[in-house]
Chain A
């Protein structure tokens, strides 16, 4: 974590506030606190904010404000950021998941790399409680952590061109779920029938940053039954 956040312009209508350079719950908490501070105080000219692991993108309208003015206003929050901590209890979300087989083509490799059995990988992945750090990449994709080092696995060297919707993957200490069919390089260990994104409602994503997530192993028959619901 930096002693104080760093500010940098990103083109003519956005700025990036960096709190650190790692995947860390305390750093991520600060990102979301600043996001909430901007939302609650309705800073003039800010059109939207995009929280990530360790940074917040502030997208603004240059007709209404400027980079210098925004940095000045955001710096004011620095000493009192804690006032903008989440005041509600984190939501708990359970994600039923079929591990391995055709739904999790990389499960065996993950097990082999760590000299574990398939069952051990499934147990470790599903017994860990994850936090949603951010939504990004594609619509509704939750970036979650931390995956224990005992099963953390780097991305595939060559990304796949097509990963089916609902695929559960690991990339380093992160785990995530592909909301729709997409190319991608994460190690796919399972698949969930849960729908993660619906553009026809105002809160289009199932997950929100701060959510606590657990994966619950299910069998294929349960997957198919849930898919029909």
Chain B
């Protein structure tokens, strides 16, 4: 069923689900929603399964016309959103009627990405096991690209009719600041760096540069010293890996990370950390905290527990 017509596409709006798993060895990135928490919450608010496809909105949001009645929810970055020019709240279920115009006004005040979930989930072809858009590869989502004006967005039939108006309790709504602190496990190539270089990385504040996207965040800040400048043999990369370039500046790999590379990796950010960092925007600051693998594992298990328990913690109330 066609549900939305795109009036304005926004800066960079793509269809994303939980990602394309099992194809790294073919050079295919994982992709998927950058902020897993906001994404999961959006789906839960409309009664979707956790991996239903949503729209991922970046910095400047789209304007959409509803072609039918539907339940939607918007979570993530702190946008002003209107339906027919009336302000609507984020982080709760919204009912829209045929002909309604949903508009993201201006740019996000804090945070970088918002998620728009619709009951049933967005209907695009499943490519290599996922509906996620991978723009560089030109596949997934809508024709492998970001939305453009005039696009028609289809949705799947809901599994069960979803009649509840759900609200996210305030203690579950994150506030996005200008400074992000993320945990990272050392390595796997920390031996390439001097002790001072490693100290610099964990004690400095880095700034997110405008050359940052779904593939990676290029950071500016203190130069990380290496023992030798020899080239490494290419090995595999995953989201969260922190590569240090020849310039001594770090790049954090994100959801669309290339699958291999030859720059040394000083540390790897935790899964929960990568998800939170997805809300950092150019100009925001990042600090890295060294944690043990035991600590990182506990954080992963806790993050997973929070995500799988989100749906049960939403509060139902009458429309």
Give A residues with C-beta under 8 Å from B: 8-14, 16, 18, 21-23, 47-57, 59, 62-63, 66-67, 134-141, 143, 172, 179-180, 182, 197, 199-200, 204-205
Contact = CB atoms under 8 A, between A and B. Distances in A.
Contacts of A10: 185, 187-188, 238, 241, 265, 268
A199 B139 contact: yes
Interface stretch (B24-32, B62-70, B92-100, B200-208): B24-32
B300 to A, nearest CB: 4
Interface string B174-200: 000000000011011000000000000
Given A48-B25, A180-B137, A63 B301 contact: yes
A180 to B, nearest CB: 7
B22 A47 contact: yes
A49 B232 CA distance: 20
Given A12-B297, A50-B259, A138 B136 contact: yes
B27 A137 contact: yes
A195 to B, nearest CB: 13
Contacts of B140: 199
Contacts of A180: 137-138
A11 B233 contact: no
A138 B297 CA distance: 29
B241 A12 contact: no
A136 B235 CA distance: 9
13 contacts: A9-B185, A10-B185, A10-B265, A10-B268, A52-B235, A54-B233, A55-B236, A57-B24, A67-B297, A138-B259, A139-B28, A199-B28, A199-B139
Nearest to A20: B233
Interface of B: 21-29, 127-128, 136-140, 184-185, 187-188, 231-236, 238, 240-241, 258-261, 265, 268-271, 293, 296-297, 299-301, 304
Q: Which 9 A-B pairs have the closest CB atoms?
A: A136-B260, A11-B268, A57-B236, A50-B236, A8-B188, A12-B296, A52-B235, A139-B27, A12-B300
Contacts of A23: 233
Contacts of B259: 50, 136-138
Contact of A204 (B23, B300, B301): B23
A136 B234 contact: yes
Contacts of B138: 180
Nearest to B258: A137
Given A137-B260, A137-B261, A205-B26, A11 B296 contact: yes
Contact of A48 (B21, B29, B241, B265): B21
A65 to B, nearest CB: 11
A24 to B, nearest CB: 9
Contacts of A139: 26-29, 137
A13 B26 contact: no
A8 B187 contact: yes
A71 to B, nearest CB: 11
- Residue among B25, B127, B238, B304 facing the most chain A CB atoms (10 A cut-off): B25
B127 A200 contact: yes
A11 B275 CA distance: 13
Contacts of B23: 48, 204
A22 B188 contact: no
Nearest to A183: B136
Given A12-B297, A136-B27, 20 more contacts: A11-B268, A11-B269, A12-B270, A13-B271, A14-B238, A22-B233, A23-B233, A48-B23, A50-B24, A53-B233, A54-B233, A59-B24, A62-B300, A67-B297, A135-B25, A136-B234, A180-B137, A197-B26, A204-B26, A205-B26
B260 A9 contact: no
A10 B136 CA distance: 25
A208 to B, nearest CB: 9
Contact of A57 (B184, B235, B258): B235
A47 B21 CA distance: 8
A55 B238 contact: no
A172 to B, nearest CB: 8
B293 A12 contact: yes
A138 B21 contact: no
Given A12-B185, A62-B297, A143-B234, A135 B268 contact: no
